[in-house]
């Protein structure tokens, strides 16, 4: 039997493509409109170079750090995603893998597993919410996450409800019953491993969002919750400050690209921001996050922790992001592909790839700790950087 271990995130992606039904794989790839931002997120990392040393390099490298009040074994944490239908163990498997590798877990409020189960699998869980429903609805979600033991709150405000994709969005059913199973049978039947995983659980994939349930109520279906979110006016900066105050603890605003927004986030009292464009899933044409990071880090990096997510596929990408001002990165598709390829072990495998890649880049750069990285370690080609709203 072929080994289930894989050597790179690219191999995990190929396995995910082979194992998942086309519509599930398509939903993971996402990327809105022409997919320019999604592609730039990845391509921009490849434009950056390194200037390595060949002797006098450190024999041991320290990857451990702290971010968002958490001590973690390396500067890579799990970005929140809805992982419906990728794997029956979903976010619980991801949380266990992150715990096994000593790092933190971001759980989406649109995820497929209850926050209580995810925190039980990884006590270093941060809960992510969207601005959906009334303030009371939002408070109820927040209080549930607090009660469950979430160690921080992530507010994601960059979603633009852009539903047009040049490559054609996959069809995602509202729920999966016998009729939809039969409808999707041709694509599922040619993906037997995926089918077998669900067959073993005795249930079809669950397309509900348990963390959006009203107190004591049943978990709504994904599209029902999505519709309610679409009806909610977007939050103001006062709303952000209000929510931060209600939470009272570690608070990350995810989705910042502009310097002026970063400053307003600081004024709203956040403890951290993530330079993020939702993996290129919303306003297409937004530049790669790594291009926008240095200007944002220069503006607010001394006041709040600055994270980055988008296009991170290898340890050397993490090192580039740290050298350009990030405290840590969050990964999205990389761990989803690992989950699809090999469940919890696949996510651990992805995290090990990141760890080895970071260590190897530190060795080459002659740095003994992730805290020693600086802009001098990276070659930035002319015209690479973008300064938004400065």
Q: Which of these, 167, 181, 175, lies nearest to 21 by C-alpha position?
A: 181
Q: According to the binding rule CB under 6 A, does residue 310 interact with ligand FMN?
A: yes
Footprint of ligand FMN on 175-234 (CB under 6 A): none
Please say which residue, 36 or 41, places its beta carbon nearer to ligand FMN: 41
Q: Which residues are catalytic?
A: 278
- The answer to whether residue 79 forms part of the interface with ligand FMN (CB under 6 A) is yes
Regarding 21 and contact with ligand FMN (CB under 6 A), the answer is no
Q: Tell whether residue 282 is a contact of ligand FMN (CB under 6 A).
A: no
| Burial of residue 265, with CB atoms counted within 10 A of its CB: 0-12 exposed, 13-18 middle, 19 or more buried | buried
Q: Is 343 in the site for ligand FMN (CB under 6 A)?
A: no
| Number of CB atoms found within 10 A of residue 322's CB | 26
Q: In which residue are the tokens 């590798």 written?
A: 101
The binder of ligand FMN chosen from 80, 90, 114, 343 (CB under 6 A): 80
Binding ligand FMN (rule: CB under 6 A), the pick from 28, 76, 308, 358 is: 28
User: Nearer to ligand FMN by C-beta: 144 or 333?
Assistant: 333
Which residues, including other chains, have CB under 8 Å from residue 74's CB and lie 6 or more apart?
A: 63, 64, 65, 101, 102, 103, 318, 351, 354, 355, 358, 370
Site string for ligand FMN, 39-78 (x = CB under 6 A): --x-------------------------------------
Nearest to 160 by CA among 317, 280, 44: 280
Tell the burial category of 215 from Cβ atoms under 10 Å away from its Cβ (0-12, 13-18, 19+): exposed
Residue 56 burial (CB < 10 Å; 0-12/13-18/19+)?
Answer: exposed
CB of 289 vs ligand FMN, minimal distance in Å: 8
Q: Does 314 bind ligand FMN (CB under 6 A)?
A: no
Q: Which stretch binds ligand FMN (CB under 6 A): 93-101, 241-249, 329-337, 359-367?
A: 329-337
Q: Is 309 in the site for ligand FMN (CB under 6 A)?
A: yes
Q: How far apart are the first and last CA of the chain?
A: 55
The site for ligand FMN (CB under 6 A) is made up of: 27-28, 30, 41, 79-82, 108, 110, 128, 156, 254, 276, 278-279, 281, 309-312, 331-334
């Amino acid at each position: 039997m072929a080994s289930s271990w894989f050597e790179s995130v690219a191999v995990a992606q190929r396995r995910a493509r082979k194992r998942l039904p086309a519509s599930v794989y398509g939903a993971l790839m996402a990327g809105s409109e022409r997919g320019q931002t999604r592609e730039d997120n990845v391509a921009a990392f490849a434009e950056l170079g390194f200037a390595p040393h060949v002797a006098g390099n450190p024999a041991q490298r320290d990857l451990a750090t702290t971010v968002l009040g958490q001590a973690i074994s390396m500067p890579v944490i799990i970005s929140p995603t809805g992982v419906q239908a990728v794997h029956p163990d979903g976010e619980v498997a991801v949380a266990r893998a992150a715990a096994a590798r000593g790092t933190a877990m971001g759980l989406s409020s649109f995820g497929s597993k209850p926050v209580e189960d995810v925190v039980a699998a990884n006590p270093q869980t941060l809960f992510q919410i969207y601005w959906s429903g009334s303030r009371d609805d939002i408070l109820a979600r927040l209080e549930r996450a607090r009660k469950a033991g979430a160690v921080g709150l992530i507010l994601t405000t960059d979603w633009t409800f852009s539903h047009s994709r040049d490559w054609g969005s996959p069809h995602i059913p509202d729920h999966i019953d016998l009729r939809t199973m039969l409808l999707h049978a041709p694509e599922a039947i040619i993906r037997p491993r995926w089918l077998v995983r669900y067959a073993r659980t005795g249930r079809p994939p669950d397309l509900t969002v348990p963390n959006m349930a009203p107190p004591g109520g049943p978990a709504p279906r994904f599209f029902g919750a999505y519709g309610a979110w679409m009806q909610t006016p977007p939050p103001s900066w006062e709303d952000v400050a209000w929510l931060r105050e209600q939470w009272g603890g570690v608070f990350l605003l995810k989705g910042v690209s502009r310097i002026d927004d970063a400053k307003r986030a600081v004024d709203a009292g956040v403890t951290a921001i993530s330079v993020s464009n939702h993996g290129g899933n919303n306003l297409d044409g937004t530049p790669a996050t790594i291009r926008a990071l240095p200007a944002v880090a220069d503006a607010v990096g001394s006041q709040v922790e600055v994270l980055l997510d988008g296009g991170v596929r290898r340890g050397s990408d993490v090192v580039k992001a740290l050298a350009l001002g990030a405290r840590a990165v969050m990964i999205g598709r990389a761990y989803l592909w690992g989950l699809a390829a090999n469940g919890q072990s696949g996510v651990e495998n992805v995290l090990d790839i990141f760890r080895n890649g970071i260590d190897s880049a530190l060795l080459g750069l002659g740095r003994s700790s992730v805290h020693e990285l600086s802009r001098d370690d990276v070659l930035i080609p002319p015209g690479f950087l973008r300064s938004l709203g400065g």
